[in-house]
Structure 1
Amino acid sequence: MKKETKKKIQIVSAGLFLLYLICLTYFLFFVESLGRSYAEREYTYNLHLFKEITRFWRYRKELGMAAVLANIVGNVICFIPFGAILPVLNRKARNFFMILTLSFEFSLLVECTQLISKVGSFDVDDLFLNTLGGVLGFLLFTICNRMRRKHYG
């Protein structure tokens, strides 16, 4: 691949990653329709893995599938861009364990910020689902990168 093309890909990827971070911040901390507000709230947290996932699934009829999908699938989907774009920006991130670690750390930062700011809650299920999303994003990057290399040599 030409250096000019690589440079353009880097610039576009950096712009997309910045846009992703802005959108993620907005949805995680400011969208009131998702229960994000700074009203008098208590600290809420879940430290039992799969507790909230199980609860959402068990009460899916009462909650509605939209709420279940928003919680479970939404947490995965929100981190797919993280795992897919980061390896484009930094060659050192083209490693499964690096993406796994960075996805977990970034998710932990988000969850701790939610706990401290009392916007949302700290949930280990979210840590798991977000990390899974980052790993799936990396898998998507890996597949696309291999297809590109195979097609363009």
Structure 2
Amino acid sequence: MIRNTTRNQKLGWVLFIAYLALLVYFMFFAESLGRNPDLREYSYNLEPFKEIRRFYKYRKSLGMEAFLLNIVGNVVGFMPCGFFLPIISRRSKKFYNTFLFSFCLSLCIEITQLVFRVGSFDVDDLFLNTLGGMLGFFTHRVVQKVRIRRRKRK
């Protein structure tokens, strides 16, 4: 497996593993995000778009920081996943594979939060994280097209 990988794929793997380590830290251990093990109060949301609507509706009273952290943070947090997957895996060059992997990774994180009562299980996070993975995938596609056009000009 390692012999057949390109230099870019190896670098992609290193960056992807670093991204996953940071993701795990922020999802489960970052006290600044309310991941304190002493606080066992736990909540979950199974109603689609409930928290998205709530954060949007009360964005002025909650503050723009809370709005951006929840809504934009979930999307941006998964963009590297969708960006690096096509680099490290030939299978992930297909849209549906990257979509499925992003969704499954998000589901694993949410289930882990549910089981260990860290953070909160939220169906909206599944949607936002998967959306972030897809935006990362499309960003990768755009970058690749720009790279190909530049090579053709030379």
> What is the TM-score normalised by the length of structure 1?
0.92
**3-state SS in 2 of match to 1:23:** helix
**3-state SS in 1 of match to 2:6:** helix
1:39 Cα deviation from its structure 2 partner: 2.0
Aligned to 1:137: 136
Aligned length: 148
Find the aligned partners of 1:30 and 1:149 in 2 and give their Cα distance.
Answer: 40
1:148 Cα deviation from its structure 2 partner: 1.5
- Which ranges of 4 or more aligned residues in structure 1 deviate by more than 3 Å? none
1:19 Cα deviation from its structure 2 partner: 0.6
Segment of structure 1 superposing worse, 30-39 or 74-83: 30-39
Kindly provide the amino acid, as one letter, of the partner of residue 116 in structure 1: V
Superposed CA offset, 1:22-61 (max 9, x none):
1111111101111102225244210111100111111111
Aligned to 1:7: 6
Find the aligned partners of 1:101 and 1:10 in 2 and give their Cα distance.
Answer: 20
Q: How does 1:71-150 map to 2 (within 5 A)?
A: 71-150=70-149
Aligned to 1:70: 69
1:29 aligns with 2:4: no
Question: Are the counterparts in 2 of residues 83 and 135 from structure 1 also a CA contact under 8 Å?
Answer: yes
Aligned to 1:18: 17
Find the aligned partners of 1:44 and 1:56 in 2 and give their Cα distance.
Answer: 16
Find the aligned partners of 1:40 and 1:126 in 2 and give their Cα distance.
Answer: 21
Kindly provide the amino acid, as one letter, of the partner of residue 86 in structure 2: P
> What is the TM-score normalised by the length of structure 2?
0.92
Aligned to 2:53: 54
**3-state SS in 1 of match to 2:36:** coil
Find the aligned partners of 1:54 and 1:40 in 2 and give their Cα distance.
Answer: 26
**3-state SS in 1 of match to 2:48:** coil
Find the aligned partners of 1:8 and 1:85 in 2 and give their Cα distance.
Answer: 14
**3-state SS in 2 of match to 1:79:** helix
Aligned to 1:3: none
**3-state SS in 1 of match to 2:47:** coil
Find the aligned partners of 1:41 and 1:114 in 2 and give their Cα distance.
Answer: 12
Q: Percent identical across equivalent pairs?
A: 51
Over the aligned positions, Cα root-mean-square deviation in angstroms equals 1.2
